[in-house]
Every structure is written in C-alpha cells, then in structure tokens.
Amino acid sequence: MKKKKKSKKNRKGGFSNTRLYDLLLVIFRENSKKKLNYKQVGKILKVKEMGVKIQIIDVMKDMVLSGVLEETKRGAFRLVEKTSKIITTIKNNNQRGVYANIDDENEVFIPKEYSQFALAGDEVEVLLFLKRKNKQEGEVIKVIKRRKDEFVGVIDNSSSNYFLNTDDKKVSFDVFIPPKTIKREYLNKKVLVKVDGWDSQYKNPIGKVVEVIGEINDHDTEINSILYDYGFSPKFPDKVEKVVNKILEKISKEEINKRLDIRNTTTFTIDPKDAKDFDDALSVKKLNNGNWEVGVHIADVSHYVKEGGIIDKEAAERATSVYLVDRVIPMLPEVLSNNICSLRPNVDRLAYSILFEMDESANVIDYIIKKTVIHSDVRFTYKTAQDTIDNKKGKLAKEILLLDRLSKILRKKRQKKGSINFESTEVKFILDDDNNPINVYFKESLSSNHLIEEFMLLANKTVAKHINSSSKKANTFVYRIHDKPDGERISTLNNIVKKLGYSINNENSNKLSHSLNKLLENIKGKGEQQMIETLTIRSMAKAIYTTNNIGHYGLAFKHYSHFTSPIRRYPDLIVHRLLDKYLCGGESVNKNLVEKICEHCSEMEKVSSRAERDSIKFMQVKFLKNKIGFIYDGVISGVTEWGLYIEITQNKCEGLVKVSSIKDDHYIFDEKKYALIGYRTKSSYQIGQKVKIKIQRADLEKKQMDFILV
C-alpha cells in the first residue's frame, strides 16, 4: 500500500505567488522542526526552472514579513507561525474534509488530507494556525476518540487491491482491505467492515470484514445496512440472549408482597395498532371523597435489568429502540420488551406507578409513587379508544370518557401557561407482502393520542418535580431539558412572517411562547402554514438529557424528565433506578458519571432519528422509482446553496431540485431569508412556497430523488 505523497508537482507554466505561498506553507508546516533553503524547497516541489526558484525566495521573504517564517541565517528559513491547540468535536464531514468547532460561534474547515480520517462526532485535537485572508486554518493532529469504526458498503475488486466503497457518501475515504483476508463470499455483497488501522501516513484506513449483510438491492439487506451504518445491530449478542432466556416470567409471591397490589383496579393500555412493547397503562378508580384516583403505570424494567449486568450494558450502548418504516429494533431483547416487561392484557405485571388524586377540574390534589403489581383488563389501540370517545359507548367507556375529559383540561391548562402546540404530520407507508411500499397515508393525531400524551407528560413532570422538592440537598437526576430559542433565529422568523401580515412578540420567553402559539393557530389552513411551521420548528433548540435542570421551554415546565418509556429509552431506566434509590433514602450518585450517560443518550437519540429518516428516504425512493416523468404539486421544504428540497404534497416524499437545473437566472442562496434569489430577475424560491415538479431520477442506492421544476 502506497504512502501519502507529501510533495506537490510543479504545474506547467509555473505558480502564481498565492499558489506558491499556499504550497510553501504546507511544506514548512509538515517540516516544522527543520530549517529549509530555496534549493530544498525546490527539490520537494520538483522545481527545476531558475525563475521559479527565485520566485520561491521572494515568497519566503514575504512570509518572513507576515510573521510566518523567520530567516535563521542567510537563505535558511523555518516556521515561526503562532499556533494554538484545542480539543474539540468534529461537527460535520464531507468528501472535501471536516468542519471542527472552535467555540459556540466559530468553526474551522480542515481539508481531508489533514483530517486524520476524522468524522462527525469524533473528539479531536486540532492545531489552529494564524488566520489568513480572514480565514481560519488548521489540521487534526490527533483523534482522541472515534465515534465510528465500522462502515457498510460494497468491496471494489476491480484492481489487484480491495477497497470498501462506503454507503455513506460523506465519508471522504475508502477502507483498504488486505487481500489475504478476502473471501469469495464477501464480493458483490453488502458487508460490514471494522477499521483496525488508522495510520494517517497511508492514503486509506485498513479494515477487515466482520459481517456479510446480504445481497445488494435486497430489501432486508438495505434496511439492515442502514442500521449497521448508524451503529445499531439488528440482532443481540448470543451471550445477551442466553441471559435473557433465563429470566422467569412468573412473578413470585414474595415480590408481590413487597408491592402495592392494585390488580383489582380497572386498568388498560392504549397503543398503536402494531405495538408490542406496552410501556404504560392507565387505571381509574372512584374515591370515597368524590375525587378520582388516576394511575399511570410504567413497566418496571429495572426489576429485570440489573445495573451493570450484561443486558444493562447492551441497553446502555444502544440507548434507544429504533423505529424504522417496516420494523422496530428494540433496545431490549424481545423476550423482555414484547413479553416479560410489556404491560400486556390479562396477565399480572410489575410496574412503577404514580397514583394521582384528581378532582373533576383535573387538579392534582395529591399523589403517591409506588412499586406495584397490576393487571391490564383491556388492550386498546388509538383507533378503538377513539371509537369509544366518539360513540360514547363500548368497553370501559366510563373510564375512557373520564380520562378524555380530564386530559383536555390538562392540555388547555398547559397551553395557557405557554406550552407550544406543535402538530406534526407523520407519514406511514402501506407495504405489500414483500415490504414494497404501495401507498402512503398521513397519521392523524386523535383525541386518544392526546389523552395518553397528557397523562404521560403529567407523570414525567411529577417525577422531576418530586425529586427537586423531596430533599433539601440537590440529588443528581436525569432531566429532559429544552432551552429557549435562539434570538437571532426568532428575529429572522419575525422578519419573514411580518411580510405575510403576522408578528412575534419576543419581549420575554413567556410572551414569545404565547405569541408562537397564536401564530401557529392563525396560520392553520392558510397557504403559508407549512413554511411558517417549518421555520418555527427550526428556530427551536433541541431537547436533550442532562443532570443540569433548566426546565423545558417548549412544554413550559420548570421540571421535566423521562419516566414513562423504560422499555425503549435508556434515560427512563436510569430515572427509575435513581427514583427508587432516593425514595429509599439513598445518597446522591456521581453527577459526572450520570452526565456522561446523558450525553451518550442524547447523541444516540439523534443517531436513531437519522437512521429512521434514512429508512423513510429509502422507502420514498422505492415508492417513486417507477414514476419517473410524473408531475406533482409540491412545497419547498428546504433551501441550500446547491438547490431546493421539495416535498410532494400528495405523499410527503422529498427530493432535490439542483440549482444548476434552474436555467432562467443565476440564483444566490440567502441564508437569512431561507431563499434562492435570482441575480438578474430578483425572483425568489423560499421555504413553504408551492411549486410543480417532475421526477427526473430516483437513486435507490444513494436514497436520493432528483426533481426539476415545471
């Protein structure tokens, strides 16, 4: 395998002074401890012409004047450029190189040849040089921690060497696979390769095949490739399955005696039709004083998944279940997630419960938090529960209608306090027996969805508030926080909506949230609804997990956590353990340790979301690949310097109109207006604008669709 060539060949016709300055800078940086004269530099550049050698001397003298070089003795120069080192995280990567954060507002682009094969999410040490032409320069001198060392792709065997061409086209390198490790069954298949050599003196990392995923273009292969590429395995290690299979489903009398037994209280679940992992159940009981006892019961996963055990370590690594278009990859093995922990009907189950005493106006009079044993009487889907609400009759109609009424009051109260009311449209595919998408529909948010949402929010808020108020000292806890929106983004949003006759009050955070709710209400059914909703969501901060409670701006809660989904979210499992510890009088746990878990879970949440989006893109391309040339109505969903992203109104499938395909003018990207603006005509294409498109190309491998405007 060849080493990197560090020399630069002379171009015919010589160099410009600017080009020569750049080349000399690279040479002196790569030989930072050496003194070099013009002959040595000329040799590295393979320069023979005397005129260019004289030009080298002149440029080196200019570099002395600018403080980059010093002349140590006549004709000998060395690098004295001031540098600084920072430890940071790679923000993004593409075929040309990587972007590294310098601070909250500044970043540096590092070309791939100086990136040490770093990728987005990697922790790196970066050497920053003096700014030149107002541009920050730097290089990665060490990768401290790599987020990713496994890559999915197809092996290129067109030459005597073997390289993995990665599925992720943002990765700027191929992975070299030593020929002696290659087996025939690796070729012409999708494979998973683990990199075990990152030596930057070579052009490529070195790896080995660890898994043959399957046939190229096979549906299951492509979906599993998405999972592997984002670091999720579709199957659990044998050692984990072995331990899980030893767990007994039957609950012992001894365990029941330790808990509050509420198996005789009317209890039920409401979940999606295809759900198997029932995290939560509700119960209703009339109290003697006329109030209601409403129970929120959450699967007691912590009873079965012991801290530090083999199942726990696997769950911690995954951090979340992954919900793809046609399958769920659970955080916990199915024996637990779909059976032993799942609050299925007509079987006894262990739960962690909050029992609320509520009056007719949905005021919480009191509550208790207890480990319980429950028995779900009925399993509702959102649709069957909605039928009960609409028809006011059916199984447990009295209980369902009561909770529906109380949830509507809770929802109104929450919004009155400033909780922002985002209503997103969820796209679902109808699949045939071979998992091919044959139609698309939009999932409607029903009253039954809101019913569950409100009581889960109440439970999550109550747990976080309880931890804050039950102890004089601050116990380490996991919070789900949401910061206030970025002021500049809100100003940009305000400037756009003003042109459409609306306004936003940003005097303080409370007025802003009420103003945003009013805006979202006023645009319903209007032509600009999609644009304003999209821009409003983009102006918001991202919710994360942390031990530092700053509240949840979007929900208008001072205290908020995640307690209600421990089967599918690892932070909820941590919350159960901490809650149990503190309720039993235990000491506060190490904050730094919990914060690291929070950071990992926040990152994995983003990663799983990207995997989900990729599976949706794959299905969208599959759905439209036989519709080349078809014309659709669409809405501009994103604007970049390279083009317009268009969402088809009929099916929510998204594709790209390349800016180069818009021939009537030269279009320039205006970042603040989220628009492409014509240089000559001043005509513009802006987020939310309605357009007509024709499908030009559907690339299943790249999960991309190209449209043209018509």
The pair of structure tokens assigned to 512 is: 């802003």
Comparing CA positions, the residue from 479, 593, 603 lying closest to residue 145 is: 603
What is the structure's pLDDT at 510?
A: 83
In a domain, 31, yes or no: yes
Q: Are residues 100 and 183 in the same domain?
A: no
8-state DSSP, 660: G
- Calculate the CA 410 to chain-centre distance: 30
In a domain, 610, yes or no: no
- HSE at residue 127, side-chain half, CA atoms within 13 A, is 14
CB atoms closer than 10 angstroms to residue 274: 7
Q: Are residues 416 and 361 in the same domain?
A: yes
Q: Are residues 578 and 592 in the same domain?
A: yes
pLDDT of 11 over the 60 cut = no
The pair of structure tokens assigned to 388 is: 């009960």
Stretch 463-479: mean pLDDT, rounded? 88
pLDDT of 72 over the 60 cut = yes
CATH number at residue 48: 1.10.10
What is the structure's pLDDT at 7?
A: 39
Residue 5: pLDDT band by 50, 70, 90 thresholds? Answer: very low
In a domain, 494, yes or no: no
- Calculate the CA 103 to chain-centre distance: 21
Least confidently predicted of 5-14, 266-275, 596-605: 5-14
Strands 378-381 and 267-271: parallel
What is the structure's pLDDT at 471?
A: 65
**160 burial via Cβ count (<10 Å: 0-12, 13-18, 19+):** exposed
Among the three residues 125, 145, 165, which one is the final residue of a domain in this structure?
A: 145
In a domain, 620, yes or no: no
Q: CA 207, CA 83: separation in Å to the nearest integer? A: 34
Comparing CA positions, the residue from 340, 324, 153 lying closest to residue 229 is: 153
Better-predicted residue by pLDDT, 690 or 270: 270
What is the structure's pLDDT at 474?
A: 86
Better-predicted residue by pLDDT, 207 or 14: 207
The model's pLDDT over 117-164, given as tens digits with 9 standing for 90+, comes to: 999 989 999 988 877 666 778 889 899 999 999 999 999 988 889 999
The average confidence (pLDDT) of the chain is: 91
CATH number at residue 174: 2.40.50.700
Please answer whether residues 21 and 60 qualify as being in contact, where contact means their C-beta atoms are separated by less than 8 angstroms: no
Percent of the chain with pLDDT over 70: 97
Total count of domains within the chain: 5
The model's pLDDT over 377-401, given as tens digits with 9 standing for 90+, comes to: 999 999 999 999 999 999 999 999 9
Q: Are residues 446 and 370 in the same domain?
A: yes
What is the structure's pLDDT at 177?
A: 96
What is the structure's pLDDT at 51?
A: 86
Please answer whether residues 105 and 75 qualify as being in contact, where contact means their C-beta atoms are separated by less than 8 angstroms: no
Q: Are residues 263 and 156 in the same domain?
A: no
Q: Are residues 31 and 114 in the same domain?
A: no
The pair of structure tokens assigned to 164 is: 């993995």
Task: Give me the domain span that covers residue 154.
Answer: 150-216
CATH number at residue 665: 2.40.50.140
Stretch 231-239: mean pLDDT, rounded? 94
- Calculate the CA 413 to chain-centre distance: 31
Among the three residues 79, 112, 132, which one is the final residue of a domain in this structure?
A: 79
Stretch 47-62: mean pLDDT, rounded? 89
Residue 4: pLDDT band by 50, 70, 90 thresholds? Answer: very low
In a domain, 355, yes or no: yes
CA distances to 171, 243, 351, 366, 580 from 301, rounded to whole Å, are 38, 15, 8, 26, 12
Q: Are residues 426 and 567 in the same domain?
A: yes
Stretch 680-697: mean pLDDT, rounded? 91
In a domain, 159, yes or no: yes
Q: Are residues 106 and 212 in the same domain?
A: no
Q: Are residues 126 and 207 in the same domain?
A: no
Q: Are residues 110 and 66 in the same domain?
A: no
Please answer whether residues 361 and 409 qualify as being in contact, where contact means their C-beta atoms are separated by less than 8 angstroms: yes
What is the structure's pLDDT at 287?
A: 96
Residue 12: pLDDT band by 50, 70, 90 thresholds? Answer: very low
Residue 333: pLDDT band by 50, 70, 90 thresholds? Answer: very high
Q: CA 541, CA 560: separation in Å to the nearest integer? A: 16
Q: CA 336, CA 568: separation in Å to the nearest integer? A: 11
CB atoms closer than 10 angstroms to residue 33: 6
Q: Are residues 696 and 665 in the same domain?
A: yes
Residue 30: pLDDT band by 50, 70, 90 thresholds? Answer: confident
Residue type at 642 in one-letter notation: W
The model's pLDDT over 562-596, given as tens digits with 9 standing for 90+, comes to: 999 999 999 999 999 999 999 999 999 999 999 99
What is the structure's pLDDT at 375?
A: 98
Please answer whether residues 262 and 295 qualify as being in contact, where contact means their C-beta atoms are separated by less than 8 angstroms: yes
Please answer whether residues 256 and 250 qualify as being in contact, where contact means their C-beta atoms are separated by less than 8 angstroms: no
In a domain, 527, yes or no: no
In a domain, 51, yes or no: yes
Q: Are residues 705 and 676 in the same domain?
A: yes
